[in-house]
Structure 1
């Protein structure tokens, strides 16, 4: 397997979960000089993950974009801006050019009660980290992400996130333990 390809993306959120997409040739990677952060924007009703240049590093997944056709992924990641980065493929230890999606600073704001994090989205992201990086990688996801002071809407019983996935009891337990560890405050769905 070659480690070099300029038609690939670096996913650091739901794109780490291979069940949410069909992009081929995925491989674990690390991006230095970036940090994951929860944001909301007027382009979406819910808070979601973005990445910003900062001290530190984030683990994620590189995947190929067949024939360099970015249209479907650009549509999926519509609230983000795509830009070039250099990531390190973990299996090869080789630096590669890739694309990352991040929310432009002028469109980003902190999550709040009207724009909470969704537990169904967190579940999908953490499931991906568990499958790719194990429990230590899931713990690192929480540690390397800013914004856990935002409320978390507990929509697990009726998922709002369109690419939600079923979780095992152990996966749910890891998510719940890590949310407790970062002091996340869960809020129920209002049914009125």
Structure 2
């Protein structure tokens, strides 16, 4: 693909976690975001699954040098799915666009043994806040399924490899939405 782009819907929305130039806001139709666990990773991650009528916010960015293998390595638990016809964006042309998804049948619900990391949620929320404002954060929580999964509070010693420093207001925003949704929060063992 000469004009290759990807659609990011989780940590890739946070520009501090990558160096992809020219990323811009976009919207993906026909998919919904969900927290899932795969045997390829010890903790739960976001993925997307097909769902007619759904739409999620995210970013699109060109794949540097159309080097899919480098991006595939970052997204090792996922496969690439074509999504160009499902992405609404402001580009003046129609590039090829892919979205990363965990293959059907290769993921399950998070568990206490394989929880969601709070440091990962924080990174995603920070990205949505910077790109889409507080309304975008609200949409992120509302359009993401699986909030009944256990969340490991690892803020004191973040386990997410691309964790970021958050302001008090950013942490409070995450905490406010989590309190509303009520997932079980597990204290990290030191």
Correspondence 1:103-182 to 2 at 5 A: 103-182=102-181
Q: Which residue of 2 aligns with 1:32?
A: 29
Deviation at 1:83, TM superposition (A): 1.3
CA deviation profile, 1:62-85 (whole Å, cap 9, x unmatched):
011122011221101000001110
Task: Give the TM-score normalised by the residue count of structure 2.
Answer: 0.94
Unpaired runs of 5+ residues, structure 2, are none
CA distance, structure 2, for counterparts of residue 160 and residue 64 of structure 1: 28
Correspondence 1:60-99 to 2 at 5 A: 60-86=58-84, 87-89=87-89, 91=90, 96-99=95-98
From 57, 68, 85, give the equivalent of 1:59: 57
CA distance, structure 1, for counterparts of residue 58 and residue 176 of structure 2: 21
Aligned residues: 186
CA deviation profile, 1:68-118 (whole Å, cap 9, x unmatched):
0112211010000011102111x4597653111100012111111111000
Deviation at 1:6, TM superposition (A): 3.5
RMSD: 1.4
The structure-2 alpha-carbon separation of the partners of 1:148 and 1:93, relative to structure 1 and needing over 3 Å to count, comes to: farther
CA distance, structure 2, for counterparts of residue 13 and residue 166 of structure 1: 17
CA deviation profile, 1:17-41 (whole Å, cap 9, x unmatched):
0110001111100011110000001
CA distance, structure 2, for counterparts of residue 95 and residue 172 of structure 1: 37
- Asked if the contact 1:88/1:94 (under 8 Å) is kept, the reply is no
Unpaired runs of 5+ residues, structure 1, are none
The structure-2 alpha-carbon separation of the partners of 1:65 and 1:190, relative to structure 1 and needing over 3 Å to count, comes to: same
Q: Which residue of 2 aligns with 1:41?
A: 38
The structure-2 alpha-carbon separation of the partners of 1:18 and 1:81, relative to structure 1 and needing over 3 Å to count, comes to: same
Runs of 4+ in 1 over 2 A off after TM superposition: 91-97
CA deviation profile, 1:155-179 (whole Å, cap 9, x unmatched):
0110000100000111111100011
- Give SS of 1:105's match: coil
- Asked if the contact 2:5/2:60 (under 8 Å) is kept, the reply is yes
